[in-house]
Amino acid sequence: MNVLIDTSIWSLALRRRSSRNAESAELAALVKEGRARLVGPIRQEVLSGIRAKQQFERLRLQLRSFPDLSVGTEDYERAAELFNACRTRGVQGDHMDFLICSIAVREDLDIYTTDKDFSNYAQHIPIRLYVPRAR
């Protein structure tokens, strides 16, 4: 099963001074296995806010190894449906998060994230969260 890697995981692995953490190790394993997937909005989030041009270029080159999954009209429409489904149950969320959920549903991907909001969404919409292997 392939895995959509969320911004929180990429940031832990690529933007922190020390990338020695369980999330980074799991991401490295997924990359080595060819199971890690990326989508343009997550690429944009990871690269946003980097002040140093050298660091930006280094991250951009690292992420270029991962082609973006396509995003189409149906993904945006489904994202709105997922947003509405959660909102009617009192769960608020970010529009980008629901676009990520929509793509994960279409592509039948687990979502690897440390963002607790996705756990709330998963109670109301048909997404699967990736559970890291025990190390």
Q: Which CATH homologous superfamily contains domain 3-129? A: 5'-nuclease (3.40.50.1010)
Q: What three-state secondary structure class fits 54?
A: helix
pLDDT in tens, 40-91: 999 999 999 898 999 999 999 999 999 999 999 999 999 999 999 999 999 9
Residue 83 and residue 95 in contact, taking contact as beta carbons nearer than 8 Å: yes
**What residues does each domain of the chain span?**
3-129
Nearest CA among 85, 131, 91, 135 for reference residue 111 = 131
Residues 6+ apart with CB under 8 A from 121: 82, 86, 91, 93, 97, 98, 101, 127
pLDDT in tens, 17-48: 666 788 999 999 999 999 999 999 999 999 99
Place of tokens 């990736």: 130
Tokens of 133: 């292997």
Tokens of 101: 């959920």
* Separation CA 127–CA 105 (nearest Å): 6
Please tell me the pTM assigned to this model. Answer: 0.93
Nearest CA among 109, 106, 111, 108 for reference residue 93 = 111
Residue 108 and residue 76 in contact, taking contact as beta carbons nearer than 8 Å: no
